[in-house]
Amino acid sequence: MPANLSPGGEKHINVLHPVFKTIGIILLSILIGFILLCAVYLLPTEKMAAHVQESGEMLIREGNYLVWSHAVTMSDGFTDCIILNHAIYDNSRTSLLRRVLLNPETFPADSEKYAGKSRIERALGSFEEGIQTVDENYGRYWHGYLTLIKPLLLISDVAGMRVLNMLIQALLLILCSGQISKRLGYAHCLILFAFILFMPPVTAALSFQFSSIYLITLISVFLLFHFESSLLRFSNAYTFFLIIGICTAYFDLLTSPVVALGVPLAFWVLLSGTPGLTQVLGLSAGWGIGYAGMWSGKWVLANLLTSENVLADAQDAARLRIGNHGGAYQRYEGFRRVLVCLDRNPIAVLFIILIVLLLLSVLLKRRHLTSPKRLLALAVICLYPFAWDAVFLQHTALHWWMTWRNMAVFSCALTSLLLSCFGSRSPLSPAHDNTP
């Protein structure tokens, strides 16, 4: 230690280091995210628009919300139209800076002509010969998905992009299953089964809106296992969850972001052995700081570099989503609606069967009960979706058909908890000891 540095000063520096590191990572992420969007907004949009128009008949047939099975399998064609309309926005209509920071989309000026029609019909109407159009801004989100959607639209129509999306998601499920079975045992692949019960793969493949959280979660789980030796150190794990939160804010449109936290966190608890509750809460805080820091960075950038008050718009939206909608909802109305949507749902039946089977196995294997610390950590993670739904009351209650996916955290954490009751080896695990 240098002669002019006291022990107290060294401790002060050590405390500030993670703070400066966190701020640095968020600022760097904001810069990278901005540059990436600038790059894709420079791409020509004529071919993209042509591919969307080619897909128009399919999209119009599907409408705003396509239900291929039970109501909870509904895809979000309404928001997918927003995504596609942002992607094909004509570069000549405004400056690059305003395109990147305000994310405008074009619609026909005569809204009465398209009354009662789907959003995609309204958007495609702007391509009609001689029609007057208007722009609508949607600047409070990053719309980072455009860094993938725009390049893909240059080479493929929407149907082709869906096939690619499905193949990538299937590959990630296979890779994650391999990692989980190798490290924790075959039985722990049931956690992935619990995940897809509440994140239907068919809907995720058909809907760009629901793909972001699905992909972020699976990629995070794969990386967690691949870099396990490094990520079991708390400081590295904190940075890892900070980056997951940043990516969630960048790519997602407030669908079920808590899933991108809770599912990887449950796997981290399983890998880490006997984590303390403070560690789990610390990693959750890291995710939250990354999520809030990255998202608010977009508002500040847009306010500073454009004439629009995006910050005020974001604050109004936040008050609406967190609020009680004029007293229309009870505190746990969102959770109640989620339960109602699962009523008589085969997904709920399968999950109940899974939990009952695991409970029976636990009762038969009582002598193998594992660390109470691990069980407590997983029990707390089980509560995350309920806490999220209670805070974002209006959003959860209004968009129950979308936000029910938050229950993937509960299903994965509860399945992890029950499997942990077997100790280091579950009934279907390989013969070797999997103690972290």
* Per-residue confidence (pLDDT) for residue 424, from 0 to 100: 45
Provide the sign of the torsion angle of the four alpha carbons 204, 208, 210, 216, taken in this order.
positive
pLDDT exceeds cutoff 90 at 302: yes
Mean pLDDT value of segment 392-398: 79
Mean pLDDT value of segment 159-178: 96
Mean pLDDT value of segment 233-252: 96
pLDDT exceeds cutoff 80 at 333: no
* Per-residue confidence (pLDDT) for residue 127, from 0 to 100: 77
The DSSP annotation for 214-247 comes to HHHHHHHHHHHHHTHHHHTSHHHHHHHHHHHHHH
> CA nearest 176: which of 166, 188, 164?
188
Q: What is the share, in percent, of the chain residues with pLDDT greater than 90? A: 51
Q: Residue 66 contacts by C-beta under 8 Å, 6 or more apart in sequence?
A: 74, 75, 77, 206
Give φ, ψ of 135 to 5 degrees.
-105, 145
Structure tokens that stand for 418 in this block: 């029950």
Q: Which residue has the higher pLDDT, 245 or 8?
A: 245
Which of 161-165, 226-230, 309-313, 399-403 shows the lowest per-residue confidence on average (mean pLDDT)? 399-403
- Cα–Cα distances (Å) from 436 to 110, 159, 228, 371, 373, in that order, read 63, 43, 10, 12, 14
What residue spans define the domains of the chain?
Answer: 157-420
Long-range contacts of 336-341 (CB under 8 A, 24+ apart): 337/396, 337/397, 337/400, 338/389, 338/396, 338/400, 338/403, 338/404, 338/406, 338/407, 340/400, 341/71, 341/72, 341/400, 341/401, 341/404
* Per-residue confidence (pLDDT) for residue 27, from 0 to 100: 97
* Per-residue confidence (pLDDT) for residue 428, from 0 to 100: 39
* Per-residue confidence (pLDDT) for residue 400, from 0 to 100: 78
CB half-sphere exposure, 334, CA atoms < 13 A: 27
Helix, strand or coil, per DSSP, at residue 428: coil
CB 136, CB 105: distance < 8 Å? yes
pLDDT exceeds cutoff 60 at 367: no
Q: Average pLDDT, whole number, for the chain?
A: 85
Please state, in angstroms and rounded to a whole number, the distance separating the CA atoms of residues 392 and 52: 33
Please state, in angstroms and rounded to a whole number, the distance separating the CA atoms of residues 77 and 97: 28
Please list the residues that pair with 75 across neighbouring strands. 66
> CA nearest 101: which of 153, 48, 46, 35?
35
pLDDT exceeds cutoff 50 at 195: yes
CB half-sphere exposure, 305, CA atoms < 13 A: 16
Which of 167-176, 240-249, 283-292, 323-332 shows the lowest per-residue confidence on average (mean pLDDT)? 323-332
Please state, in angstroms and rounded to a whole number, the distance separating the CA atoms of residues 336 and 364: 33
CB half-sphere exposure, 35, CA atoms < 13 A: 6
Q: DSSP state, 327?
A: T
Q: What is the share, in percent, of the chain residues with pLDDT greater than 70? A: 83
* Per-residue confidence (pLDDT) for residue 432, from 0 to 100: 35
pLDDT exceeds cutoff 80 at 351: no
Structure tokens that stand for 200 in this block: 């239907």
Q: Residue 178 contacts by C-beta under 8 Å, 6 or more apart in sequence?
A: none
The pLDDT-based confidence of 362 (bands split at 50, 70, 90) is low
- Cα–Cα distances (Å) from 421 to 72, 182, 425, in that order, read 31, 19, 9
> CA nearest 216: which of 291, 155, 150, 271?
291
Angle ∠(33,38,39) on CA atoms, nearest 5: 100
Which of 85-94, 177-186, 342-351 shows the lowest per-residue confidence on average (mean pLDDT)? 342-351
* Per-residue confidence (pLDDT) for residue 366, from 0 to 100: 57
* Per-residue confidence (pLDDT) for residue 370, from 0 to 100: 63
CB 267, CB 225: distance < 8 Å? yes
- Cα–Cα distances (Å) from 92 to 42, 96, 109, 276, in that order, read 11, 9, 18, 55
- Cα–Cα distances (Å) from 286 to 237, 257, 378, in that order, read 9, 14, 18
Largest CA distance in the chain: 78
Mean pLDDT value of segment 41-60: 93
Please state, in angstroms and rounded to a whole number, the distance separating the CA atoms of residues 342 and 338: 6
Would you tell me how many other CB atoms lie within 10 Å of the CB of residue 375?
A: 18
Mean pLDDT value of segment 402-411: 89
pLDDT exceeds cutoff 70 at 325: no
Residue 134, H or E segment: strand 133-137
Please state, in angstroms and rounded to a whole number, the distance separating the CA atoms of residues 12 and 7: 9
Would you tell me how many other CB atoms lie within 10 Å of the CB of residue 380?
A: 17
Q: Which residue has the higher pLDDT, 296 or 315?
A: 296
* Per-residue confidence (pLDDT) for residue 71, from 0 to 100: 67
What pTM was estimated for this model as a whole?
0.88
